[in-house]
Every structure is written in C-alpha cells, then in structure tokens.
Amino acid sequence: MKPVLMKCVWMLMVTGLVGIMSSRAQQHKADDQAYFTGTAPGLYMEFNEVAVARAGLTIMRKGKADADYVPVGKTAQPTSSADFHRRMSEAVDLFPGYSLPAMELTDSLWQVWNGEDAASLLGARSPIIHLALGLGFLDTGVVTGQTYAYQFVNDTDGTRFESEQVIYERTLPSFSPMKNTVVDPGESRPHLEWQSEQGNGAMQFDVWRRISGSSADFEKLFTPSGIVVNAKGDSLTYLITDTTALSGVRYDYYLSGRDVFGNPGNPSDTVTLQVGGRRNVEAAFNVQTQAVDNGIRLYWAPLEQRYALQNIVILRSAVYDGGYETIATVPVTDTAYIDPDVLGGKNYYYQLLIQGEANFSQASPRISGIYQGIVKLLPPQNLEGKDTPEGGRLSWYYPDTTNLRGFYVYRTWSITSPLEQVSGLLPPATGLNSYVDSTQQGSGGHAYYMVAAVSTTQSLSPPSGIIEVLRAGSRESVPVEAPRELRPLWLTDTTVSLTWLDLHIRSENVVAYRVYRKENADTAFGDQPVLETVMNEFIDTLGHGQQYWYAIRAVDAAGNLSPASPVVELTSQYQKPLPPGSVRLVPVEDGMTVAWDTDGGSDKIHGYRLYRASAQGDAEQIATVDSSGEQAGYVDTNVESGTRYYYYVTAVDRYGVESEWSEEVSATIP
C-alpha cells in the first residue's frame, strides 16, 4: 500500500505554490491596488501593497440602488503575534479545506511581516493569512448577480482610491487537466493518483464516488488524500486511498478541483476499478535470524494487516541456491518463529512467502542462520542513576526478554579502577528495569556503574555505557548532575578541544556549563571559571611546556552548580623546532663566515642564535640572526689567528622556544 501524504492547504499557500492561482482567481483589478474574487461567503477583495495594509482602510460600497457610498467595514493590521493567530482562527471556517496553523508557524509569519521581507507574504495567496494581516476583506453583505462599486479610504492620510463596477458572482476557475496515472485496486483499500501541471494545478480537491453501472449520483467521499509536488517542481500529484470501499465492488471515481477560496473548477478523468482484484502481495520485510537455546529464531517486521492476507509460509534449505521446503505456516499476525529441528554448527537458509487471497508474494531475501547454543544479546540501554536515601538507584531499558535470564550490575569507585560485580542475578522485566545499590547507602563521593544482560545460557551481552552517581549519603537526589565523559581532542599541536556528555538531552534544568582550569595538581580550582558556555565543548590553547588541569560543572536555571566532573590533565603537545641544517664555515679576510640552511622563510621560526667555543672555554652565544630567505649567515670578526673555533647554531620559534644545537663545525683561523 502506498502511503498518502497529507498536507494542509494553508501550508501550500504559505510555501508559495498557490501563486499559480493569481491569474485565474482575479475577477477585476483597480489600478493594481485591489482585485476581487466571488466566493461562497461573499465578495473577497485583496490589496497588493504592504503599506496599505499597515495603514488600514475603510471599505465603502455603493450598489445600484444606493445614492452614495456607505461604509461596510474596516481593515487593520494585527497588533501582535497572538492577535494575528486569533484573527486567523476567526477566518479559518470561512473557506473549506483550511486548518489553523500552529503558534510556531504564526510566530514565523509574524516575524516576516515585521521584517524586510514583508512583501513576500503578498505571494502567499492564502485568504486566511491575508484577512488576518489586513491585506484582504470579505464583504458578506452582497447579493448574487448585483453590481457594486467600492471606494477605499486610507485611515492614516485620508487618501482614497476607487474600483470599477464589480458583479458579485462565484468565480469558476479553470485548472490544468487532472489525468489519472495510478489505479491500484488493492486487496482491501484501493489507491488512486491523478497528475496535472503545477503551473495551473488545483491546490485543493474533492473526491467523488459511486457504484459503477448504477443510476445513483456521485457522492462526495471523505477519505485520506493529499497533494505532492514532483522533484522538478513542474507537476502536482493528487493521491487518495479509499478506506470505506467494500471488497469485490466496482466503483467510479473522479476529482473536482477547488481554488484557494473553495470555488469548484473542472473535474478530472473518471476512473473505474474493482476492489480486491488479483494483484501482487508485498513481500516480508527485514527478515533476520538469531541463535537461541532451543534452535534458530526467525523474526521480521510486522505485516501491514490486510483482509485478504492468509498466512506466512516459512521455507528452509541446507544450501543457498535451491532445495527450499516448507517447514511451517504461521498466522499473518506473527512476527517470529523458532526452528527447533536444527543441528549445532550447521548453517541453514530461510525465505518467507506471504499468502494472499489469490496468489503469493515474492520470496523474501534469503537469510542464513547457524545454531551454536550461544545467545547474543543487545546491551542494556538508557542507563541512568541518582542518589536516594536507600542508596544509588539505577534504571535502564531492555526491549525484549526473549532468551534473557536477567542482569548483573557492576561498580567501581574510580574510573581508572576495574569494575566489580555488586549484584546477584536480577530478574528481567520487559521495558524498564531498576536496582538500588544499598551497600553504598552511607558512603559519599563518586560511584561508577555498568549493567550487562545475561542470557539463558549464561552468556553476557556487551556492557551498557558507564554512568556516574555522586553519593551524598542522606539527601534524596543530586539537584544537578555532574558532567561526565570529559574527553580531549588535539586539533593542532597547540589547540585542544574538550568535550563532554551533553546533559541538556537528559535534564531540562541544565542551562549552561562552567569550565575551570588550574596550573598545579596540588592546588584547588578557583571559584571563577575561565568560561561559561551553553555548548558541551571548550577549546583552549597550550604553549610549549604548559600543563593544565580541567574540570566542568553544570548550571541549572536557578544558578545551582553540579559537582565537578572528573579532572582531566593535559600537557602541551607543542614540539621544539628542529635545529638548522648544513652549517658551514668559510674563512674570509676579516674573520670567519658561518652559514646554514633555513626553513625557507616560514613564520614558525623567529630567528637563530650562534654559539662559539674554543679549546680553552665553554660555548657562548655571540650573535642573534633574524629569519629570512632560504639561507642565513653571520661573519665572526672577533677571532684570533691560529686559534681553532667551534660553532653551533639553534633555531628560535615565534614562542621563544629554542631548538637543540646543530651539528658542531670547527675551523682554525689562518
């Protein structure tokens, strides 16, 4: 069965699709300032300027028997989003097919109306929105077939403009033809689709049905329906699913398009079908296998219940390519079956067939299963904990107790210490399970817990996530949960990102986090945080040799602070620069030239330091050289003839960090 996409008409109007209606909904224009449309409730007029709507208008009307214009109403823009929503609620029943938008959408439209893009709402050809904004007016006091003239007075500056004579009669729009594209008789509920061009397609429609071949008139049908736009945006598809049809009966269907005001237009093609005709039955979906204590368990997604479905046929083979035989026939309401006639360690292949009223579905994809006597369980989910007077109370969720014997609870006092089992075998419950660690009742500090599921064969599931419970000993609960799972990630050699579990998804009371930092392991964190943030991330920079300790505390709406998270210690990853390479000595007339290769002018190196030693003394710094180009050098003129000198060069980066010494080079001054 194909799904039917339901869409409210007003939503289509807001998205601008109903802009296609502008050419046919118009009956008469007055200098492009107003246009008129005949509707069932009365004569609808719409104004084409935002400024006019914001100023407000007094609507004056003169009929054939009137000597002069008489006032019939006023327009005014709403004063607030709530007033805008109230006005739409008053107008929504005037035109069929509309529903009242949610307050969230009302607030969004109100922001657009009060912003720079207010004129964009002129194209949202929804009478509900325009009446509420003062862009439209509905004159319900007119008489069909009578001629009227209107005068509009600006309530702000008194200016006015007039319309030509307008005859009140219901507008009959002409839509693009709606041609039938899909006729699916179904097994109990037929599905039909029509298609038209998007440029002049009907934005609303009614469904009409009668028993085929009878003399009865078509009757309006109330059944799930909807409109979708194709990916290219150039056509509309009209969908219906008849949930009231009777199997075996032949029906005629057609659609009648309506414009945004509910005025009926031209009909679609007429389609005939007989419900429950011979057709393909959908195959079983998401078939899987699981080894259990007494065999191989097959399970699959629930079938969409149809009156014509008969059975689910299960086939099995010892080889993948053929030899499938029926091993069971189960009701269509079943979603699982255990095959007990299996041998340990042997592989089997399965397929499912769905038996319909007249034929079978295609076979499901082939799925293999092997019986090993070990049940593989899912880990417990959504483990949570809190402090109570009785001890740490844990709760977790487990969806399926099939082949589940129970649970074990594990605990440790430190995140770096191994977990130890603290509970016996806990009997399982479908859904929510709980446990109170009464042995921890009087102790304080942090406790860390984990839960594992136990199968009927005593095999353990993968563990749940580890949670932290802060024990206070006597109070019922910790007001604000401490952040946990604090993790560092180095983005560069000097920049680190600290993230932690976002508590916003667990508690609505948590509104922010405070980040604390210190430079000594033996001192306490200060009272003032380095940052307060709503994000569960903090990015910090550590220079060469720096070391910091971090902790995070959560803040609730009342300003209460949680306990501190586990402390994380970080040491800068920044490395010393490499020493210069290819240091060379060249004797010159006045002394000795020392030259070396640089890193090509990189901004990482700020300069170089030159050291010199002789046989009689230690090395001393004799010069500092700026970093530039691909080579650097220095002429040492403070030398004595006949003396041997030893030279070393180091690189200094932009943080003042000095590299190790280069390789030693030496020479004797001539």
The pLDDT value given to residue 590: 82
Nearest to 494 by CA among 568, 546, 550: 546
Q: Residue 348 pLDDT more than 70?
A: yes
The set of residues, in sequence order, having a beta carbon less than 8 Å from that of 414 and lying 6+ positions away, is 446, 448
625-638 pLDDT per residue, tens: 887 666 678 888 88
* Mean pLDDT score across all residues of the chain: 84
> Which H or E run contains 172?
none
> Which CATH class, in words, describes the domain spanning 487-571?
mainly beta
What are the pLDDT digits (tens) for 122-153?
877 789 999 999 999 999 999 999 999 999 99
Q: What is the pTM of this model?
A: 0.40
What CATH code would you report for 581-668? 2.60.40.10
DSSP 374: -
pLDDT at 639: 87
Judge whether residue 357 has pLDDT over 70. no
Task: Map out the domains of the chain as residue ranges.
Answer: 9-167, 179-274, 288-370, 383-471, 487-571, 581-668
Output the pLDDT for position 443.
52
Question: In the predicted model, what is the mean pLDDT of residues 456-464?
Answer: 79
Q: Is the pLDDT of residue 551 over 90?
A: yes
Residue 293: per-residue pLDDT = 67
The pLDDT value recorded for residue 218 is: 93
**pLDDT at res. 354:** 87
Q: At what angle do helices 103-113 and 81-91 cross, to 10 degrees?
A: 110
Report the pLDDT averaged over residues 552-561.
86
Query: For the domain bounded by 179-274, which CATH number is listed?
Result: 2.60.40.10
Tell me the pairing of strands 605-614 and 568-571.
Answer: unpaired
CATH of 288-370, one of 2.50.20.10, 2.60.40.10, 1.10.530.10, 3.40.50.1110: 2.60.40.10
How far is 196 from 236, CA to CA, in rounded Å?
5
What is the arithmetic mean of pLDDT over 512-524? Answer: 90
Residue 261 is predicted with a pLDDT of 87
Q: Which fold has domain 383-471?
A: Immunoglobulin-like (2.60.40)
Tell me, what amino acid is at 303? L
SS3 319: coil
Q: How far apart are CA 108 and CA 355, in angstroms?
A: 51
Q: Which residue has the higher pLDDT, 31 or 206?
A: 206
In the prediction, which pLDDT does 668 show?
Answer: 86
- Residues 47-99 have pLDDT tens digits of 888 888 899 999 999 998 888 999 999 999 999 999 999 999 988 888 877 77
pLDDT of res. 1: 36
Q: Would you say the CATH fold of 581-668 matches that of 487-571?
A: yes
CA distance 620 to 613: 6
